[in-house]
Amino acid sequence: MFNEKTIEEVKSANRKASSDATSTAFYNNPRIRGLFYQVALVAGLLYFFVTVIGNTLDNMEATGIKTGFAFLDAAAGYDVLMSLISFESTDTYARIFVVGFLNTILVSVIGIFFATLFGFIFGVAYFSHNWLIRKLAVVYVEIFRNIPLLLQVFFWYFAVLSSLPSARQSLSLGEAVFLNVRGLYFPKLVGGDLAWVVWTVLALAIGGVFYLRRWAKKRQEITGEQFPVLKASLALIIFAPLMAAALTGFPFTVDYPALKGFNYFGGVTVIPELMALSIALSVYTGAFIAEAVRAGIQSIPRGQTEAARSLGLRENKIMSLIIVPQAMRVIVPLLNSEYQSLVKNSTLAAAIGYPDLFNVFVGTALNQTGQAIETIFMTIIVYFIVNMVISFLMNRFNSAVSLVSR
């Protein structure tokens, strides 16, 4: 039986206890502690930045360096080894920035393409039926993953490419492609008046391939009939522009590289620095990608392969239709970080003198102007942006391949 008085007593005792709990020493209150830590951190950071900025301004004054980006409009006064846009030594630092940026993008794109190619070839080779090929994949990954990239760049540049024959003894392929110590030369198509017709047809053909793939997929979903998409696409891409070229009377001339004096001129030249850097980046990153591909494929249960076999699919069809599409869910996030580190590693261009952004800007421009903070931060921001773009694209791709749960 409850007594009114007892209940009141209990209630008041409870109230007292809870007021005791809130009146523990204020420095033991987690919220106040949290606030204190954060204020301390803010104060520490503020002090740090104020000191650093003050010191920097003092130091710069002492050495007579003007802060700011005015140096971008000054003439650079030096030439770069290779440029995708026209460049002369009278051009500004701003233009050198663009030249370097384009060179970085060039080597990154080449590197990403070949690293992906090597990575997928060797990653799939892990599961080959041939013991030798399986071991080859293991050897490739374990060797190239465990040797510093800089050593590999140097190896290709100083030990392999520099022992190629001189221009007069060039290695040649059908008298059109030449390889010597000065670089790789191959012929270039120079478009005439009507060349735009052919390019337009080519662009239309590529667009047509996408349309064809969509149509074929839809048709297969409705009727179950397969359409030879790959053969049809190849035919479209090769024959449509060829037809256009034939109809317009082949409006192209081929510019072959030719030996004049001590060197080859004409055509497209790939300088050895670009070759060494791209080879090293693709081989090194390819080893990591191969590891990612292997991990992805191993994450697929064996039952998938067995089920596919019992349906009567052939081995290569099992790989391309069943295993790899599922493995992509594991592979793509890993690819994302590998691509980003490839772009960051392309700064090793500075070691062999390939004029990438880092080399021409943080290397040479910094040296000439002394604008350490501006040049380094401009460069860092570019790498951040490039990596964010890669991350964005790969995340889009990832959501396309990721498991759609119904």
User: Which residues in this chain contact other proteins in the complex, by CB under 8 A?
Assistant: 34, 37-38, 41-42, 45, 51-52, 55-56, 58-60, 62, 129-133, 136, 142-143, 145-151, 154-155, 158-159, 162-163, 344-345, 347-348, 350-351, 358, 362, 366, 372-373, 376, 379-380, 383-384, 387
Cβ 264 to other proteins, closest distance in Å? 24
Nearer to other proteins, 200 or 320 (CB): 320
Cβ 7 to other proteins, closest distance in Å? 31
Nearer to other proteins, 38 or 89 (CB): 38
Cβ 335 to other proteins, closest distance in Å? 17
Nearer to other proteins, 195 or 290 (CB): 290
Cβ 136 to other proteins, closest distance in Å? 8
Nearer to other proteins, 233 or 359 (CB): 359
Cβ 341 to other proteins, closest distance in Å? 9
Nearer to other proteins, 150 or 243 (CB): 150
By C-alpha distance, which of 263, 80, 300, 277 is closest to 182?
Answer: 263
Cβ 13 to other proteins, closest distance in Å? 23
Cβ 10 to other proteins, closest distance in Å? 26
Nearer to other proteins, 75 or 380 (CB): 380
Cβ–Cβ contacts within 10 Å for residue 367, how many? 11
Alpha-carbon dihedral angle through residues 118, 120, 122, 125, given to the nearest 10 degrees: -150
Nearer to other proteins, 153 or 324 (CB): 153
By C-alpha distance, which of 240, 263, 253 is closest to 183?
Answer: 263
Cβ 58 to other proteins, closest distance in Å? 5
Cβ 96 to other proteins, closest distance in Å? 17
Cβ–Cβ contacts within 10 Å for residue 157, how many? 21
Query: What string of H, E and C letters represents the secondary structure of the chain?
Result: CCCHHHHHHHHHHHHHHHHHHHCCCHHHCHHHHHHHHHHHHHHHHHHHHHHHHHHHHHHHHHHCCCCCCHHHHCECCCCCCCCCCCCCCCCEHHHHHHHHHHHHHHHHHHHHHHHHHHHHHHHHHCCCCCHHHHHHHHHHHHHHHCCCHHHHHHHHHHHHHHHCCCHHHCEEECCCEEEECCEEEECEEEECCCHHHHHHHHHHHHHHHHHHHHHHHHHHHHHCCCCCHHHHHHHHHHHHHHHHHHHCCCCEEEECCEEECCEEECCEEECHHHHHHHHHHHHHHHHHHHHHHHHHHHCCCHHHHHHHHHCCCCHHHHHHHHHHHHHHHHHHHHHHHHHHHHHHHHHHHHHHCCCCHHHHHHHHHHHHHCCHHHHHHHHHHHHHHHHHHHHHHHHHHHHHHCCCCC
Nearer to other proteins, 248 or 387 (CB): 387
Cβ–Cβ contacts within 10 Å for residue 406, how many? 3
Nearer to other proteins, 33 or 260 (CB): 33
Cβ 267 to other proteins, closest distance in Å? 29
By C-alpha distance, which of 279, 291, 282 is closest to 122?
Answer: 291
Nearer to other proteins, 155 or 397 (CB): 155
